[in-house]
Amino acid sequence: MAYYVIRRLLQAIPVLLGTTFLIYFMVFAMPGNPILALFGDRSPNPALLERLEAQYKFNEPFIVQYLNYLGNIVRGDFGISFSGQSVNDILARTFPVTLKLAVIAIVIEMIIALSVGLVSGLRKGGIFDASALIVSLLLISVPIFVLCFVAQFFVAVQLGWASPTVGADTSLPRLFLPAIVLALFVVATAIRLTRSSVIETASADFVRTAFSKGLSRRRVIPVHILRNSLIPVTTQLGADFGLLIVGATVTEGIFNVPGVGNTLYQAIIRGERPTVVSFVTVMVLFYLVVNILIDLLYAVLDPRIRYVK
Amino acid sequence: MSAANPANTSGHLLEIKDLEVGFRTSRGEVKALNGINFTMDAGETVAIVGESGSGKSTTAAAIINLLPGTGRISGGSVLFEGRDLAKATRSEMEEIRGKHIGYVPQDPMSNLNPVWSIGFQVEETIKANGLASGRKEVRAKAIEVLQQAGLADAEKRLRQFPHQFSGGMRQRVLIGIGLAAKPRLLIADEPTSALDVTVQRRILDHLASLTETDRTALLFITHDLGLAAERAEKLIVMYKGKIVEAGPSLEILQNPAHPYTQRLIAAAPSLASRRIQSAGVSLGGIEHDVASSAEGVDLIAAAETRVEQLGAAAGARPAIEVDNLTKVFKIRTGGLRSENFTAVDDVSFAIPKGTTMALVGESGSGKSTVAKLLLGLEQATSGTITIEGRRTEKLKGRELLALRRAMQPVFQDPYGSLDPLHNIGNTIAEPLRIHGVGDRASRRDRVTELLDQVSLPRVIAGRYPNELSGGQRQRVAIARALALKPDIVVLDEAVSALDVLVQAQILRLLADLQAELKLTYLFITHDLAVVRVIADNVAVMQRGKIVEAATTDEVFDNPREKYTRDLLDAIPGSGIKMGI
Amino acid sequence: MSSETPGAGTTRSANHYVADVEETPIASIDAVDLDEKPSNLWIDAWRDLRHRPMFWISSILILFIVFVAIFPTVFTQVDPRACDLAFSNAGPAAGHPLGYTKQGCDIYSRIVHGASTSLSVGIIVILLTTIAGVVFGALAGFFGGFVDTVLSRAGDIFFSIPYILAAVVIMSVFSENRNILVIALAIGAFAWPSTARVLRSEVLRVKNADFVMAAQATGLSRMGILFKHVLPNSIAPVIVVTTLSLGAAITAEATLSFLGVGLPGQTMSWGNDISQAQRDLRTDPQVLIYPSIALTTTVLSFILLGESLRDALDPKARALR
């Protein structure tokens, strides 16, 4: 297990270097004064300009600039935003909100995916399975912002079951609607994957052997079928996390949830590029960390991975 | 559920009456079993023998109501101690399974759940069948079960996971689970087919001793007639969902009455090998009767064909000479370290032109690596390969191409050896195209000729591999190998994946082709019984080294190495006395 | 054993049962059955697809959308750019079946003219990702070793940035000259690794097949093996992924346009229209709903086609039905 953890962490290093380099390259390798380019057609405040110059060291060669930027990231300093605020301060305020939203969304997603996927898989070809398929494909096809508006309009405006925007109060009930929307946005692939792995596992030899030992269906389904199906579903969760990040950005923006996604959303809409770059970097790092955690979870779930010498 | 069950009027432990099983498909219900009748008494061992698709495994699954997919019992009854299991409810079946009828599955690799420890999987059996209660008692019982199944240090092993066990150890665990509740009946579905031959024998011996002690009735499912006859008092021969013949094992072996059984007996390598062995005369002089229905699959006749033309090949130059061949693979052992693994270790042999040499060994012995080195699919680490007098290790370009013309392979997997997107005609013609032989028309003629040689209808040229059976695919693979008129054919487990009758047919075909085309064969196999029939010389490989090499008669009559003797003993049917 | 079975053929001894040969005739061993029509993966897939309503519905929808995109004027004579603020958010009127946007433009006409934008972006993106994915995936899988390590790690890096976020950054930099090609490049630049991964794993599976070894032993060159045997046998899943990602690319374009980093406001784009309609969601939801329906239907068509292709081409998916 220790070997696996170390190997996974070592593998993350080139990816970390590569991703940060790519982001930096995309923004700053363009010709012209990159700082002025960052501001587009907006006129910068001279004091901010100076601080950005200091942050990015544009007089140095490109590679030095990049190493400097990387050094800042490694130290946990994500620079300053367009308005001159420290990104770290903004993160401290917004990150807990986003984390809360994401966790609720993932919990809802897992509950829906596992229950719907399990029933679909065990009754493959039935009416429930067919309806679940149609709903999943529809959910895959609806863009997140349309989903948000549909929820906002029907659930909040028409039915009045929730507030259309969240605002400063981020208590659980208020976050519930955006969390459900976010969960629905990512749930379809998870349902489909649960279903297919349940079908596959249910016809596995060891399930038949479990029945032949005299175990009841009530025991075989959770202990042998669902438990084994968790492995591919969990791995998929990592890959889908990118979707969740994009989804969170749009959802937080539309529902006005004061989280990291909303900050990025506002920055994109207003064209505040230094903030965009900082927050995209933050999100990519978050994505990397989550994927490492999921790989470790994978090792916990699958002893074949865990016990590699 | 006791023997004193008043409903059990017949007194049989198991009585199967007119059993029918159907599978629902898009074209309606397809019958897999068509009126099966047999009985078993307490403590009896009965074997069901048949080829794939005969319905033998379906019969086993129907008894415990665990038919796969859309299968269901569509008629008849399964009376177990007088009670009809075909009509039992789900909870009644759950009560019977494990506790009264145990089950040992075929493939130990896929029958234990990889995510739970061995202990967990044994303990849940114990708990489900109420064999012990309380954590400590359950654990103690689990250790007892594993010890009985023949696992040393069972206590430590409880915490380990299936992937940390070898195939043989896993099968012991599964046998332990199957017998944990001391059931009255144990169904063993090909319990050892997935294991190496030497392991097979030990496991079966152990299973026999366990069932004997507890007077457990054993229903043994196998495709190997020799194995069935050796292990069971009674045989049931199945063919296409029906029983064609049933009775005492010896009686059936000596006086097979149904033409299908006659065919099976003629085609079983283990029996043919025993017969040749016990005839006490060299091949060519064995008198034996074979029913006319079994002529095409008679292995002894195949062996005789080979020996007849062996005289012509006597003293021939070697077609292949291998000297001190060594292949070392680097294996990553984690991190940056790597370890050397010697797959082929200082191997030398020579094959006289026009003869067959068998390279025998269990999985991992390095025999397939030797084939790849010969075919130039891997580079040797050291040593030399001389083919038709020419050294081959350094060949490149045109010369290598010329060498490849002289030597062609046939691989094991009939499902993987043909490109599914190319039709049969193009597949057979591919070597001709690669070597630029002939034009379109002449290539087409050659394909027709080759199809005739391997006895396939000519129209098959326009068909695709997925329409053919395993045996037919293997014929196509042989036709492709012969397209360039090679001198040498390397047969890597070429018949191992085939059903016994088809296997016999292909072995006959190979013998006929060798006689007709003066081919040299390198025949790589794990099955010594087949070797007895097909090979002139044998080399036995173990852990990359050749441990014994001699003529086939010598190896079979006077094996020098213990390992060879173990392999020979593992050929089923040693205990059978049979008429020739 | 079955001695008591009555009337079941001849009985040689008390307990030796032999079935009646008439009732259990034995077929010749391994006879060739040529009653079936020729079949291989592609022929089978087509036979399977022919019977799927999902395939026909999605194909017809896609053909229709393509037709609309190429010949928008067949469906509307109204100029989508002729806007009159007097009609801001007005309801349906004669010749304007879906009413007007906030700027007073005809919604129906804007939807019809927006089809070509979505389709063009989708098609360019999948051209890019398929070419890059097939080249990198095939090289990595077939040659393995160092080539594989370099390409796979590079793929991992690109894969680690969610492609819409990457596109947001790229589009932010290209604030001046945003057009269909730029947005397609921005989406495609980080979307190719999924195609590459799919092809790589297929190539790895196929290249170890016995038929590849047989061809190699006969002397077929490396390139011959790659193009004749390996690629044709690994391409089916790529077709499935490509169809599905066409839908995803259309969504991505709309999302970027919605965020204001997509196509410029005057370009006809469903994402732009939805974005502009959001402020009046409470009072005039229809302005937002119609382009949303168009967008979702288009994406759904490609997803449905992709799913039908997967069911037909992937034997594993077939077993799951």
For C265-286, write each residue's pLDDT tens digit. Answer: 778 889 888 888 888 877 888 8
Cβ <8 Å between C160 and A124: no
Q: What is the chain B residue with the closest CA to A224?
A: B113
Provide the number of CB pairs (under 8 Å) joining chain A to chain B: 96
Shared domain for B522 and B482, answered yes or no, is no
Compute the mean pLDDT over every residue in chain B, rounded to the nearest whole number: 87
Q: Answer whether residue C196 shows pLDDT above 70.
A: yes
Instruction: Give all strands of the β-sheet with B407-410 in edge-to-edge order.
Output: B407-410, B488-492, B520-525, B356-360, B537-542, B545-551
Q: Does A303 touch chain B (CB under 8 A)?
A: yes
The mean pLDDT value for B22-28 works out to 86
Residues 289-318, chain B, touching A (beta carbon < 8 A): none
Which residues partner with B330 through β-bridges?
Answer: B340
The mean pLDDT value for B421-430 works out to 94
- Top-confidence residue, A118 or C30: A118
- Top-confidence residue, C76 or C177: C76
Provide the number of CB pairs (under 8 Å) joining chain A to chain C: 137
Residues of C in contact with B467 (CB under 8 A): 36, 38-39
pLDDT at residue B226, rounded to an integer: 87
Residues 28-47, chain A, touching C (beta carbon < 8 A): 30, 37, 40-41
A153: exposed, middle or buried (Cβ count in 10 Å: 0-12, 13-18, 19+): middle
- Contacting chains of A (3 CB pairs or more, <8 Å) are B, C
A214: exposed, middle or buried (Cβ count in 10 Å: 0-12, 13-18, 19+): buried
Gap from A191 CA to chain B (nearest CA, Å): 22
Gap from C172 CA to chain A (nearest CA, Å): 7
pLDDT at residue C60, rounded to an integer: 96
C165: exposed, middle or buried (Cβ count in 10 Å: 0-12, 13-18, 19+): buried
- Provide the 3-class DSSP secondary structure of residue B522: strand
Question: Are B293 and C26 within 8 A, CB to CB?
Answer: yes
Residues 251-280, chain A, touching C (beta carbon < 8 A): 254, 265, 268-269, 271, 273, 276-277, 280
Instruction: Give all strands of the β-sheet with B338-352 in edge-to-edge order.
Output: B338-352, B318-332, B382-387, B390-391
Residue B57 lies in a domain: no
Answer positive or negative: Cα dihedral of C198, C199, C203, C204.
negative
Residue B250 lies in a domain: no
Cβ <8 Å between A284 and C258: no
pLDDT at residue C5, rounded to an integer: 42
Q: Write the DSSP assignment of C85-132 as a string of letters.
A: GGGTT---BTTBTT-B-TTS-BHHHHHHHHHHHHHHHHHHHHHHHHHH
B65: exposed, middle or buried (Cβ count in 10 Å: 0-12, 13-18, 19+): buried
- Contacting chains of C (3 CB pairs or more, <8 Å) are A, B
Q: At which of B455, B486, B517 does a domain end?
A: B486
DSSP type of residue B316? P
Polymer length in residues for chain B: 580
Residue B247 lies in a domain: no
Angle of helix C53-70 relative to helix C107-143, nearest 10 degrees, comes to: 120
Q: At which of B437, B469, B486 does a domain end?
A: B486
Residues of A in contact with B106 (CB under 8 A): 205
Q: How far are the Cα atoms of B61, B253, C59 from residue A134, in angstroms, in the given order?
A: 36, 59, 17
pLDDT at residue A86, rounded to an integer: 84
The mean pLDDT value for B56-69 works out to 93
What domains does chain A contain, in order, with CATH numbers?
98-301 (1.10.3720.10)
Measured in degrees and rounded to the nearest 5, phi and psi for residue B420 equal -65, -20
- Provide the 3-class DSSP secondary structure of residue C147: helix
- Provide the 3-class DSSP secondary structure of residue C30: coil
Q: Answer whether residue C199 shows pLDDT above 90.
A: yes
Give the C-alpha separation, A40 to A43, whole Å.
8
Give the C-alpha separation, C306 to C294, whole Å.
19
To which residue do tokens 């940035």 refer? C161
Polymer length in residues for chain C: 321
Q: Does A218 touch chain B (CB under 8 A)?
A: no
Tokens read off for C31: 């006879």
The mean pLDDT value for A64-91 works out to 82
Domain with B439, as residue range(s), is: 416-486
pLDDT band at B578 (very low <50, low <70, confident <90, very high): low
Question: Are B243 and B56 within 8 A, CB to CB?
Answer: no
Q: Answer whether residue B3 shows pLDDT above 50.
A: no
Out of B245, B457, B469, name the one closest to residue C19 (CB). B245
pLDDT band at B540 (very low <50, low <70, confident <90, very high): very high
Angle at A45 between CA A44 and CA A48, to 5 degrees: 100
The model carries a pTM of 0.87
Helices and strands, counts by H and E, chain A: 14, 0
Cβ <8 Å between C219 and B468: no
Q: Write the DSSP assignment of A20-69 as a string of letters.
A: HHHHHHHHHSSSS-HHHHHHTTSPPPHHHHHHHHHHHTTTS-HHHHHHHH
What contacts B65, CB < 8 A, 6 or more positions away?
B73, B85, B86, B88, B93
Residue B526 lies in a domain: yes
Q: Please choose, from the candidates B443, B472, B51, the residue with its C-alpha nearest in 3D space to the C-alpha of residue B239.
A: B51
Give me the half-sphere count of Cα atoms (radius 13 Å) on the Cβ side of residue C224: 15
Chosen from C61, C121, C153, C157 to mutate, greatest number of chain A CBs within 10 A:
C157
Helices (H), chain C: 41-50, 53-70, 107-143, 145-159, 163-173, 180-188, 192-207, 210-218, 222-224, 231-234, 236-258, 270-277, 285-313, 315-319
Q: At which of B443, B468, B486 does a domain end?
A: B486
Answer positive or negative: Cα dihedral of B524, B528, B533, B535.
positive
Angle at A287 between CA A281 and CA A288, to 5 degrees: 90
pLDDT at residue C3, rounded to an integer: 40
Give the C-alpha separation, A247 to A105, whole Å.
11
Of A52-56, B66-70, B511-515, C227-231, the range with the highest mean pLDDT is: C227-231
Residue B255 lies in a domain: no
Residue B374 lies in a domain: yes
pLDDT at residue C11, rounded to an integer: 41
Q: Answer whether residue A202 shows pLDDT above 80.
A: yes
Among B155-169, B432-446, C9-23, C306-320, which stretch is predicted with the lowest mean pLDDT? C9-23
Give the C-alpha separation, B326 to B381, whole Å.
6
Express as a percent the part of chain B with pLDDT over 70.
Answer: 92
pLDDT at residue A27, rounded to an integer: 75
- Top-confidence residue, C308 or A73: C308
Q: How far apart are the first and last CA of chain B?
A: 46
C298: exposed, middle or buried (Cβ count in 10 Å: 0-12, 13-18, 19+): buried
Shared domain for B474 and B502, answered yes or no, is no
Residue B438: count of CB within 10 angstroms of its CB: 14
Cβ <8 Å between C2 and B408: no
Q: Answer whether residue A239 shows pLDDT above 60.
A: yes
Among A50-54, A129-133, A295-299, B345-349, which stretch is predicted with the lowest mean pLDDT? A50-54
Which residues partner with B243 through β-bridges?
Answer: B238
pLDDT at residue B521, rounded to an integer: 94
pLDDT at residue C14, rounded to an integer: 52
pLDDT at residue B217, rounded to an integer: 95
Q: Answer whether residue C68 shows pLDDT above 50.
A: yes
Residues of B in contact with C229 (CB under 8 A): 419
pLDDT band at A308 (very low <50, low <70, confident <90, very high): low
Cβ <8 Å between B115 and A223: no
Q: Answer whether residue B580 shows pLDDT above 70.
A: no
E-assigned strand segments in B120-216: 185-189
Task: Fill in the amino acid letter for C142.
Answer: F
Out of C165, C274, C288, name the one closest to residue A245 (CB). C165
Residues of A in contact with C320 (CB under 8 A): 124, 195-196, 199-200
For B479-510, write each residue's pLDDT tens digit. Answer: 999 999 999 999 999 988 888 899 999 998 99
Shared domain for B456 and B495, answered yes or no, is no
Chosen from B219, B421, B468, B491 to mutate, greatest number of chain C CBs within 10 A:
B421
pLDDT band at B133 (very low <50, low <70, confident <90, very high): confident
Of A280-284, B303-307, B402-406, C128-132, the range with the highest mean pLDDT is: C128-132
Express as a percent the part of chain B with pLDDT over 90.
Answer: 52
Out of C153, C168, C296, name the one closest to residue A14 (CB). C153
Q: How far apart are the first and last CA of chain A?
A: 8
For C133-178, write each residue's pLDDT tens digit. Answer: 999 999 999 998 889 989 998 998 998 888 888 998 888 877 777 8
The mean pLDDT value for B74-82 works out to 93
pLDDT at residue B333, rounded to an integer: 61
The mean pLDDT value for B1-18 works out to 69
The mean pLDDT value for B117-122 works out to 95
Out of A140, A141, A273, name the one closest to residue C172 (CB). A273
Shared domain for B519 and B469, answered yes or no, is no
Residues of B in contact with C20 (CB under 8 A): none
pLDDT at residue C2, rounded to an integer: 40
Residue B383 lies in a domain: yes
pLDDT at residue C6, rounded to an integer: 40
Q: How do beta strands C11-13 and C16-18 pair?
A: antiparallel
Shared domain for B504 and B529, answered yes or no, is yes
Q: Write the DSSP assignment of A128-168 as a string of letters.
A: HHHHHHHHHHHHHHS-HHHHHHHHIIIIIIIS-SS-S--TT
What domains does chain C contain, in order, with CATH numbers?
53-318 (1.10.3720.10)
Q: What is the chain A residue with the closest CA to B177?
A: A213
* ipTM for this prediction: 0.87
Residues of C in contact with B296 (CB under 8 A): 29
For B248-299, write each residue's pLDDT tens digit. Answer: 998 998 889 999 999 998 888 888 887 777 766 566 566 666 666 667 778 8
Cβ <8 Å between A209 and B98: no
What contacts C313, CB < 8 A, 6 or more positions away?
C41, C45, C236, C237, C239, C240
pLDDT band at B1 (very low <50, low <70, confident <90, very high): very low
Q: How far are the Cα atoms of A156, A294, B168 from residue A100, in angstroms, in the given order?
A: 21, 18, 50
Q: Does C8 touch chain B (CB under 8 A)?
A: yes
What contacts A101, CB < 8 A, 6 or more positions away?
A175, A178, A179, A182, A248, A251, A252, A257, A259
pLDDT at residue A270, rounded to an integer: 81
Gap from A225 CA to chain B (nearest CA, Å): 10
Shared domain for B353 and B465, answered yes or no, is no
Gap from C6 CA to chain B (nearest CA, Å): 11
Among B136-140, B274-278, B429-433, which stretch is predicted with the lowest mean pLDDT? B274-278
Angle of helix C180-188 relative to helix C107-143, nearest 10 degrees, comes to: 40
Question: Are C320 and A196 within 8 A, CB to CB?
Answer: yes
Chosen from A9, A199, A209, A228 to mutate, greatest number of chain B CBs within 10 A:
A209
Shared domain for B382 and B337, answered yes or no, is yes
Residues of B in contact with A205 (CB under 8 A): 105-107, 110-111
Give the C-alpha separation, A288 to A171, whole Å.
28
Residue B184 lies in a domain: no
Shared domain for B370 and B502, answered yes or no, is yes
Chosen from B38, B243, B295, B423 to mutate, greatest number of chain C CBs within 10 A:
B243
**Tally of domains in chain B:** 2
- Top-confidence residue, A308 or C102: C102
For B143-180, write each residue's pLDDT tens digit. Answer: 999 998 888 888 889 999 999 998 889 999 999 999 99
Angle of helix B424-434 relative to helix B470-482, nearest 10 degrees, comes to: 20
What contacts B419, CB < 8 A, 6 or more positions away?
B427, B465, C209, C211, C215, C229, C233
Q: How do beta strands B45-49 and B234-239 pair?
A: parallel
Residues 81-120, chain A, touching C (beta carbon < 8 A): none
